[in-house]
Chain A
Amino acid sequence: MKNKGKNIPTSTDEFIKGLWKENPVFVQVLGMCPVLAVSNTALNALAMGMATAFVLLMSNILVSLLRNFIPKEVRIASYILIIATFVTITDYAIQAISVELHKSLGAFISLIVVNCLILSRAEAFASKNKLGRSIMDALGMGTGFLFALFCLGAVREVLGSGSFFGVSLFPLDFQEWVVMILPAGGFFTLAAWLLIFNLTKRKEAGA
């Protein structure tokens, strides 16, 4: 429906839409649990975003390649199987990179499986489009997700721990906003970002 009255989107458009106009977190509000749970530091947020983007990219590629091979009666089951495979692979890859990082992300890596974003991209886009466009779509959505996660993680770490990627930013007497790294801080920060997005959109619509 987004093609109505427009030219057929180029692959660059597919990439850009995920970044801003259809940003998975700020606009579509998808895949919330990892967004809130592991965004307490910028590093965790970045790692989680990259893991999700990787799973999204790989499963989009495979779904797109196999789109004529999968009968539609079993498509959801097949997608879930494919996604679960790549999540397991990512899980082991992260363990092999750093045990520390794996510990701080915990079970939330496995929970990428049920991230609605990935399944919805497989179902809504990759199963209907050619490989090239599916890759661009996954890259765009993945980067958008990464960007959103990083926004949250950076804000929460700077305010909550007074540091950025573990490097202290403020003089010693800085009083940290402990609430920011608590679960509640996740809700508040996301609410604030959504508010900013809403305001910008309103301004654009008004102009």
Chain B
Amino acid sequence: MNPESLTQIFINACLINNFVLAYFLGICPFLGVSGKVDTASKMGGAVTFVMLISSVCAYGIHALLVAIDAPFLQLISYIVVIASTVQLVEMIIKKVSPALFKALGIFLPLITTNCAILGLALFQTNKGYDLLQSVVYALGAGAGFSLALVLIAGLREQLDLAEVPEVIKGTVLTLIVAGILSLAFMGFSGLGGQ
């Protein structure tokens, strides 16, 4: 359906159209947990993981909905499936690997309301990706999300030591840093072209 090559999809999702810096998806955790590099990278890992799973699920649901000709159920089924997947993943990880659960634990429930996950499912459907393309898209988006989160966290750790006026501390400062980072990421545009 969609002629894009896998490398193109990955670069597009990860750098050029970074979910956080170009589409503003997943801003809530972005502002919330981007204080420390350590937590940021764990959050990135958890999001990428959930993205991969829900991308495959979304592909399945879309195929099913097309088959029964009910496009109006798309949004409802996506959100329900994503929410239950997160729950399921949480339970499985708890059982299989308590160590991993400890590392990701608190972030998993947060992810349900992360717009990046639902956004990914919707975008891949809009673009008409096949299964393999969807998986690569999810990987790229997850990598991009983690990258943005870790970069911001690194910058914020440094900024904690800097002297800034009281009024712009906190959210305002993070937003300004994110804006500058978003400008920097524009330099990646054109990478996917000829």
Residues of A within 8 A of B (CB): 29-30, 32-33, 35-37, 77, 80-81, 84-85, 87-88, 91-92, 106-107, 110-111, 113-116, 119, 179, 182-188, 190-191, 194-195, 198-199, 202
Contacts and interface: CB of A to CB of B under 8 A. Distances in A.
Contacts of A202: 167
Given A37-B24, A187-B179, A191-B175, A91 B75 contact: yes
B21 A183 contact: yes
Interface residues of B, number: 36
Nearest to B122: A107
Contact of B24 (A32, A110, A114): A32
Contacts, number: 107
Interface string B63-90: 0000000001001100110010000000
Given A111-B118, A183-B21, A188 B126 contact: no
Given A36-B24, A114-B115, 13 more contacts: A32-B28, A37-B23, A107-B123, A113-B75, A113-B79, A113-B118, A115-B115, A183-B21, A186-B179, A187-B175, A188-B176, A188-B179, A191-B172
A195 B27 contact: no
Given A113-B75, A194-B172, A198-B172, A80 B83 contact: yes
A150 to B, nearest CB: 17
Q: Is the interface of B mostly helix, strand, loop or mixed?
A: helix
A107 B123 CA distance: 7
B172 A195 contact: yes
Interface of B: 21-28, 31, 72, 75-76, 79-80, 83, 113-115, 118-119, 122-123, 126, 167-168, 171-173, 175-176, 178-180, 182-183, 186
